[in-house]
Chains A and B, each alone.
Chain A
Amino acid sequence: MVQESRTIESRRLGKRERREAMHAYVFMSPVIIGLLLFTLGPVLVSLGLSFTEYNLLSDPKWIGVENYIKMYGEDLFWQSLRVSAIYSVVSVPLGLVLALFLAILLNQKIRGMYVFRAIYYLPTVISGVGVAMLWRWIFNGQYGVINTLLHNIGIKGPNWLIDEKWALTALIITSIWGVGGTMLIFLAGLQGIPQELMEAAEIDGAGRWQQFRHVTMPLISHVTFFNLVLGIIGALQVFTDAYVITNGGPNNATMFISVYLYRHAFIYLNFGYSAALAWVLFMIVLVLTLLVFRSSPIWVFYESERQGKS
């Protein structure tokens, strides 16, 4: 009797679970279909196209690895890699340091802090093209804000966007505009640090710098890790600023790989070659991301590890 009752209960439970599972999958299905059709599908198609000569107007023609071989011999491809690498190496650490610095400032308990936080985050939500146009003005050789400020302290500013020595620097400075998003994540990390740890460090005689170095930094290392991965991916894919502000010039000084890729796809209609470039970019991003992941046990500290050890 008891056994029978349990069986009925189990069957009832099964039905309910089944219904709930069905609902869950129905709700998930738009995302999964979208992912398969509009992300995974195009990704696989682009891999296929990278082995073809395809100009959009006629059928793709299989050429094997010719696009990849061609890339190896193209000076402009190497120049675009160089530009993207320099930009990433400078802008990612710069952005992280600045974002962390701002997050620490905005983590203080003073009146009106929410206003300051909103002000620093606001630039992040403004449209990319609009911001790029704004920076063109900021970098104007004569009327621009930057050169006006430099002039006021007796320095003759360069023609940022015309001079090939300065154009990439200008775009690196521009990247600071989006630091608000990274800052917000750091801020969340800082607010998650237990206050008692800071107090304990203080009682043990740790100064501000030591607290920061030995308590704050380890406890937000997972946040730093997250921001670093996103920063690397974002820096290697930067497009809008380079396209709108300098369009790859002057003399290819800002020819980012994404701009080079775009030109081949939509200006020269070399979609096969462009797909090959996209895959090379993807592999670079993947390798760098994996390297960061592999290095994480050395420098990233997780709360769960602390609990496990104690």
Chain B
Amino acid sequence: MSQEHDTPNGMLNRRRFLRTMALGTAALAAGVLAACSATKPTASTDATAAPAATAAPEATMAPEATTAPATDAATGEAAKIKALMWSNSPVLDENFKKRADLFNAKFKGKYEVDMQLLPWDQYWPKVDLAYASKDPIDVYFWDVQAYGHYKQGLLKNLQEDVNVAADLSNPELYPTKLFDVWRFDGANLFAIPENLQMMQMYYNKDLFDKAGVKYPDASWTWNDVLAAAAKLKVTEGDTVTQWGFDIGDLGVWWGAQTLAWDQGGAFFDKIVEPTKFTVSEEKSVSGIKFIQDAMYVNKMAPDQATRSIVGQDVGIFASGKVAMTPGGSWGMSGYADLKFKWDVAPLPKWTDKTVMPYFFGGWVVAKDGKQTAAATAWAIWCATEYQQTMAETRDWIPIRTDARNSAAFLGGLPAGFKTVLDTLPDAKLGDMYHKAGQQILGEVFGPILDQFWNNKISAADAGKQIDEKANALLAKG
């Protein structure tokens, strides 16, 4: 006989208890789920559909007075917003907090931003989960993942706000031509750029001086790089103790693509919503072959295995064992304390021109955020009034031209950086915006380039395989 039959009449038995608990929990769960889904998303739920904002731009109103009241109407207190950025380094993170303090002081009683910083691997899950719980982060820092949010119609169309803040549309004050690629629908900005990053050639002046080799400059071609690397390479017996060149960020797809750009080619037909990958075309193949040859044919750069060994502790350029390497401008802050002298130069040309990749840093505003006016005000303030402070901290390269060219900014950077900035008008955005973009990079470019950089397959084969697989993923939609 089971225990429940022995239980005196009326006593709380196990089965009854569990049944009650299950029902209670189910009711609680249903309540929670109902609460979670109470706010139906206004965005299109069809991932393939054009974002709502594309078809019908939002009403044209000033950022501080349109989408939400300037202060919290219910309490009369300052409108509070959450701003999210990923963590970079203690110094940069601290400066973001200080930036928030400046904003809060400026808009005291009106807006109040709570600046939160998360490790990169937690950043996008946090943003995505906030959307899923219908409580989006008010304003957060852009990266390609946010393009997926645009595609879902979750981002606020910021064009009218940019129009109101007239400076941002002034080509005298901002490189407005570069903004065009961020007009995903061809007309409107859905993110407000606040800083730039670009790619450049880092070189170790001490090693150049020691070898008596002339420093790289804007006139150099990639063949000049190889010629100089031969003079800078030092060997002891069979072991190379100093390399003249390292492929650096040419080993990343957007870095490798610059060599195709220089020749008038590209890895795909357009940056926003590419329809065809073209890595197997001659200009792309010759570009990536140059990089592979530098490691395995000319042997002027360490191969992949050696790179991982040389660079594991402090990074390959910082190791002091490499004379020059192409890399992102974001690397400069980390090189401030290097024990050797270094400088930067523009990326070399293929034959007659160089096309530098650039990247925007900026803010996007959640369309269904509770305080879109305050969030927009933060984004615009960062891109306008804060620019000179950004120049002084030199954390980021200001988007505003006068701040970027100011003595306060350039004075603390390597002398050659100005020549890098001079190539900006011809630069191209080094991103790819597509719903399947992350999967194409992770499942196609990643493993195929793994084999290619390890010299397991030829440039032509790598190009062919990438095109076949990436185009197949594009075709799936």
B contact residues, total (Cβ < 8 Å): 47
Known: A14-B11, A161-B308. A59 touches B439 (CB 8 A): no
A143, B450: Cβ atoms under 8 Å? no
> B41 touches which one: A11, A21, A59, A268 (CB < 8 A)?
A59
Between A29, A58, A59, A159, the greatest number of chain B beta carbons within 10 A of the residue's beta carbon is seen for A58
Alpha-carbon gap, A270 to B439, bound state (A): 10
Residues of chain B within 8 A of A130, CB atoms compared: none
Complex interface: stretch among A181-189, A232-240, A246-254 = A246-254
> A57 touches which one: B28, B128, B443, B446 (CB < 8 A)?
B128
Interface of B is mostly: helix
B21: Cβ under 8 A from any A Cβ: yes
Chain A nearest Cβ from B311, distance in angstroms? 11
B29: Cβ under 8 A from any A Cβ: yes
Residues of chain A within 8 A of B451, CB atoms compared: 251
Known: A18-B12, A57-B132, A58-B41. A251 touches B309 (CB 8 A): no
A267: Cβ under 8 A from any B Cβ: yes
Residues of chain A within 8 A of B26, CB atoms compared: 36
B152: Cβ under 8 A from any A Cβ: yes
A58, B43: Cβ atoms under 8 Å? yes
A90: Cβ under 8 A from any B Cβ: no
Residues of chain B within 8 A of A33, CB atoms compared: 21, 24-25, 28
Chain A window 139-181, contacts with chain B (Cβ cutoff 8 Å), 1 for yes, 0 for no: 0111100000000000000010111100000000000000000
Chain A residue at smallest Cβ distance from B40: A59
Residues of chain A within 8 A of B132, CB atoms compared: 56-57
B309, A57: Cβ atoms under 8 Å? no
A99-133 interface (Cβ within 8 A of B): none
A249, B308: Cβ atoms under 8 Å? no
Alpha-carbon gap, A59 to B134, bound state (A): 11
A contact residues, total (Cβ < 8 Å): 43
B449-473 interface (Cβ within 8 A of A): 450-451, 454, 456
A37, B28: Cβ atoms under 8 Å? yes
**Complex A-B: 11 CB contacts under 8 Å:** A33-B28, A37-B29, A53-B47, A57-B132, A76-B443, A164-B450, A251-B447, A251-B450, A251-B451, A252-B447, A266-B125
Alpha-carbon gap, A140 to B438, bound state (A): 29
Chain A nearest Cβ from B72, distance in angstroms? 27
Alpha-carbon gap, A4 to B443, bound state (A): 80
> A141 touches which one: B13, B21, B152, B308 (CB < 8 A)?
B308
> B25 touches which one: A37, A136, A249 (CB < 8 A)?
A37
B18: Cβ under 8 A from any A Cβ: yes
Known: A14-B8, A268-B439. A163 touches B21 (CB 8 A): no
Residues of chain A within 8 A of B25, CB atoms compared: 32-33, 36-37, 41
Chain B nearest Cβ from A72, distance in angstroms? 15
Residues of chain A within 8 A of B219, CB atoms compared: none
Alpha-carbon gap, A56 to B130, bound state (A): 10
Binding site for A on B (CB under 8 A): 7-8, 11-13, 17-18, 21-22, 24-26, 28-29, 41, 43-47, 124-125, 128-129, 131-132, 148-149, 152, 154, 304-305, 308-309, 312-313, 436, 438-439, 442-443, 446-447, 450-451, 454, 456
Binding site for B on A (CB under 8 A): 10-11, 14, 17-18, 21-22, 25, 29, 32-33, 36-37, 41, 53, 55-59, 61, 76, 136-137, 140-143, 159, 161-164, 249-252, 263, 266-270
A250, B438: Cβ atoms under 8 Å? no
Residues of chain B within 8 A of A137, CB atoms compared: 312
Residues of chain B within 8 A of A11, CB atoms compared: 8
Chain B nearest Cβ from A91, distance in angstroms? 23
> B47 touches which one: A10, A36, A55 (CB < 8 A)?
A55
Alpha-carbon gap, A252 to B443, bound state (A): 9
Between B124, B305, B308, B443, the greatest number of chain A beta carbons within 10 A of the residue's beta carbon is seen for B443
Alpha-carbon gap, A119 to B56, bound state (A): 67
A36, B308: Cβ atoms under 8 Å? no
A25, B43: Cβ atoms under 8 Å? no
Chain A residue at smallest Cβ distance from B45: A58
Chain A residue at smallest Cβ distance from B440: A268
Known: A56-B128, A250-B450. A143 touches B8 (CB 8 A): no
Given A33-B25, A41-B29, 11 more A-B residue pairs with CB atoms under 8 Å apart are A17-B8, A21-B12, A56-B131, A57-B128, A58-B43, A58-B152, A59-B45, A137-B312, A141-B305, A251-B447, A266-B124
Known: A57-B154, A266-B125. A162 touches B454 (CB 8 A): yes
Residues of chain A within 8 A of B154, CB atoms compared: 57
Chain A nearest Cβ from B305, distance in angstroms? 4
Alpha-carbon gap, A20 to B46, bound state (A): 55
B21, A36: Cβ atoms under 8 Å? yes
